[in-house]
Amino acid sequence: MTAMMTLQEKTWLDKEVALGEVEQIPVGEGRVFLVAGKGIAVFRARSGELFGVDDSCPHRGGPLGDGLLAGRTVVCPLHGKSFNVRTGECLQGDVDPVNTYPVREENGSMYLTLRYEG
C-alpha cells in the first residue's frame, strides 16, 4: 500500500490592531508601538502615508523607530543602513529586508495589520 501525502496549503489570517490617533506621530518621524509583544515602528511620511516596520533593525538590532525618515527611506541610527519602509528592502543590499506592516488611517486613527499563518 502506498502512503498518501497530503499537501497542506498555507493560509494567512489578517488581524487589524488599533494604534490610536495619528497625531501622536509628528510628520516625518516614527514612533514605536508594542503590538503582540513586538516593537513595531510606525512612520508618518510628509506625503501623509503611514508605514509600519519592525523596530529592530535586521542588521544588528538597532532602533529603526529612532531613525530619520526621508521620503520612503529610513536610516538606522546605529550603523547607517537604509531601508525602504514600504517594501522593507535594504538599499545597500547587504542586509535582510525588515518586516513591513500595512497601516491605514481612518477618521484620524491608525490601524495596523498583522498577518498570521493559520
Q: Which residues bind ligand FES (CB under 6 A)?
A: 57, 59-62, 76, 78-81
Spell out the alpha helix ranges (H) of 1-118. none
47/44 Cα distance (integer angstroms): 8
Strand order in the sheet with 82-84: 68-70, 73-75, 82-84
CB 71, min distance to ligand FES, A: 18
Query: Minimum distance from CB of 81 to ligand FES (Å)?
Result: 4
Q: How far is the CB of 39 from ligand FES (least distance, A)?
A: 14
Closest CB to ligand FES among residues 52, 58: 58
Closest distance of CB 60 from ligand FES, Å: 4
C-alpha triplet 8, 10, 15: angle, nearest 5°? 145
Q: Between 22 and 67, name the residue whose CB sits nearer to ligand FES.
A: 67
Reported residue count of the chain is: 118
Using the minimum distance from each CB to ligand FES, give the nearer residue, 27 or 91. 91
Q: At residue 49, what is the residue type?
A: E
SS3 label, residue 22: helix
Nearest CB to ligand FES, comparing residues 44 and 81? 81
